[in-house]
Copies of this chain bind each other. A is one copy, B any other.
Amino acid sequence: MKTYREMSREELLSLKEKLDQQFADAKGKELKLDMSRGKPAMEQLDMSMGIMDVLNSEADMRNEEGVDTRNYGLMDGISEAKHLMSDMMGGIPAENVIVYGNSSLSIMYDTVSRCVTHGVMGSTPWCKLDQVKFLCPAPGYDRHFSITELFGIEMITIPMTPEGPDMDLVEKYVSEDPAVKGIWCVPKYSNPQGITYSDETVRRFASLKPAAKDFRIYWDNAYSIHDLYDEEQDELLEILSECEKAGNPDMVYEFSSLSKVTFSGAGIAAFASSKANVEETKKFMSVMTIGYDKINQLRHTRYFKNVEGLKAHMKKHAAILRPKFEAVLDVLEKELGGLGIGEWTKPRGGYFISFEAMEGCAKAIVAKCKEAGVVMTGAGATFPYGKDPRDSNIRIAPTFPNAEELAAATDLFVLCVKLASVEKLLAQ
């Protein structure tokens, strides 16, 4: 089989004619599909409905400490929820955890916002500084970049490797530039590539020597138990203890949530860090809030009981998600394998497949998909400021559509990849 680059102009033109016809046919189907966001499928949500029966009008609403979860108090979360979330994050001591409301994204926003207005442990508030920078491993999570962009924080793209972010670059920026105050990380099954940081990467993170005292690693451990396979699961080194060993106990803010375990928007979320960081956070929380929804915390802990309960539940998710990932991967392999017009990741967990098109083709592919009724994540969204310098990365979110929709959407996607690639080659 020839790669597209090996084809003659005539061959490409003839191919284009065929693809144009296929595209016209595809448009005729009037698809209306969405592969843009990492949304759970309805079957996954159904799977958690048992949690709705855990607390009824006869339930004992006191937590294991004997506190009435219906009233004020326990601002930092009920103790059983701290334990559940700390175990989920890899066995962090429960006292290093604060349990919040429904969204880890809100915790990240609040954390950055607080640094902007009040600094970190007495450092100059970032709003008083001329320049604040964040390192952004990319492709990465668009909502992280939106937060730092909103606060006018300069974002520096760090290339990803199969082991995690390019640590040579990270070390250089962090140790040399005191304006670098943070780095966004999704360390396990990264969004969108599904890469898990290697032990060496985690240790190099833990051993960073920041020029800025208020530098923190923003460790968004969003997919800690979101494995697709029973075996072949990625393992992530627990970073808080690594930081402590390396003499950097306060360097990490870790975030986690159950949004993709029970219900998106009705789960519980957590923050974990050193004792000193947790204490500082609580000081601000006491002004921000009267506390989070402890009843929902109780509901989740009574339902899952412990981290084993969580993991058993996630195996059921995997049984739904694995075939979806495999279906997309099969089509990609079958239709694009050997053509030299795209590469893609084969993640063992998380919510995404990352597709790397020929340089300069991502926007065109996404636009064509949209034209024929399939919404993909916007090209560029996985990079700071929405600008992919190579215009090549596309995030595929296969979780929400059903099998039939997924097949239709993926068929269209590969067609658009082919068409955009041919057009690109013909224009050269």
Interface residues in chain A, defined as those with a beta carbon under 8 Å from any beta carbon in chain B:
37, 39-40, 42, 45, 48-53, 55-59, 61, 68-73, 101-103, 105-106, 109, 113, 116-118, 125, 127-128, 143, 146-147, 150-151, 259, 263-266, 284, 286-296
Contacts and interface: CB of A to CB of B under 8 A. Distances in A.
A46 B55 CA distance: 13
A161 to B, nearest CB: 29
This protein's copies in its complex = 2
A130 to B, nearest CB: 12
A292 B102 contact: yes
Given A127-B127, A263-B295, A265-B291, A50 B57 contact: yes
Contacts of A49: 57-59
Nearest to A74: B265
Nearest to A57: B49
Given A70-B45, A70-B266, A266-B294, A52 B55 contact: yes
16 contacts: A39-B72, A40-B71, A45-B71, A51-B57, A52-B56, A56-B56, A70-B265, A72-B265, A105-B289, A105-B290, A106-B288, A116-B127, A263-B295, A265-B295, A266-B293, A266-B295
A109 B287 contact: yes
B57 A265 contact: no
A50 B109 CA distance: 35
Contacts of A58: 49
**7 A-B pairs closest in CB distance:** A127-B127, A266-B295, A49-B57, A70-B263, A45-B70, A109-B288, A72-B264
A72 B37 CA distance: 9
B293 A102 contact: yes
Contacts of A103: 289-292
A375 to B, nearest CB: 14
Nearest to A58: B49
Contact of A290 (B53, B55, B259): B259
User: Among the interface residues A70, A103, A146, A291, which one has the most CB atoms of the partner chain B within 10 A?
Assistant: A70
A259 B290 CA distance: 10
Contacts of A53: 56-57
Contact of A45 (B37, B68, B105): B68
Contacts of A70: 45, 48, 263-266
A65 to B, nearest CB: 15
B264 A290 contact: yes
Contacts of A265: 69-73, 290-295
Given A290-B259, A292-B102, A264 B71 contact: yes
Contacts of A42: 68, 71
A61 B52 CA distance: 11
Contacts of A101: 101-102, 292-293
B295 A71 contact: no
Contacts of A151: 117
A287 B146 contact: yes
A143 B291 CA distance: 13
Nearest to A109: B288
Given A118-B150, A125-B127, A293-B293, 19 more contacts: A45-B70, A48-B70, A53-B56, A70-B264, A71-B263, A71-B264, A72-B264, A72-B265, A101-B102, A101-B293, A102-B293, A103-B291, A105-B288, A105-B290, A109-B287, A117-B127, A127-B128, A263-B295, A296-B296
Contact of A39 (B61, B71, B109, B293): B71
A368 to B, nearest CB: 26
A179 to B, nearest CB: 18
A51 B40 CA distance: 27
Contact of A266 (B37, B56, B69): B69
Contacts of A284: 150
A109 B296 contact: no
A72 B266 CA distance: 9
A287 B266 CA distance: 18
A320 B69 CA distance: 20
